[in-house]
Structure 1
Amino acid sequence: MRCPYCSNEMIKGYIYGDRYMLKWLPEEKDLFLGIWANGGIELGKREGLIGRAAVEASMCQSCNKLIIDTNVKK
């Protein structure tokens, strides 16, 4: 995949979470009780109850951008 910012080749990889799902939250929305991202967009998927949350991402080493596809089939 080519970086949409600088056109260099991107490196395919993953972002891993720990016990909880990864979520994206708009800047103006605060965490509930400073802990939970209620109403956020879940990124990636988790396999089973003890699986680790992961989302595929491509990274550009030239301009330090990450591209994440949020349209993950569940």
Structure 2
Amino acid sequence: MNKKSTKILSDKSAAAIKAELAKYSETFNVKETQKIVEEVVKKVTEDALKEWINANIDKVVKQSIKEKLESIAKKKL
């Protein structure tokens, strides 16, 4: 019985694509690129988090204290 091939690309086409991509892999240092992306994301999220905390910390603390005091008061009743 002959099995029908499920390959989309011929071996020749796959090899040609792999060779072409290999040319560019040396152009871009993947580890360095990952490090840069990580640093940018860290900086952006850090700045956004600081901004959010400074804008909302009072409300968060007040709400947390209020909820805790209400919880304590209900338990005592």
**Larger RCO (CA within 8 A; separation ≥ 6):** 1
Which category of TM-score, normalised to the shorter sequence, fits these structures? under 0.3
More strand by share: 1
TM-score where L is the length of structure 2: 0.18
Q: What TM-score results when the alignment is normalised by the length of structure 1?
A: 0.19
Larger Rg: 2
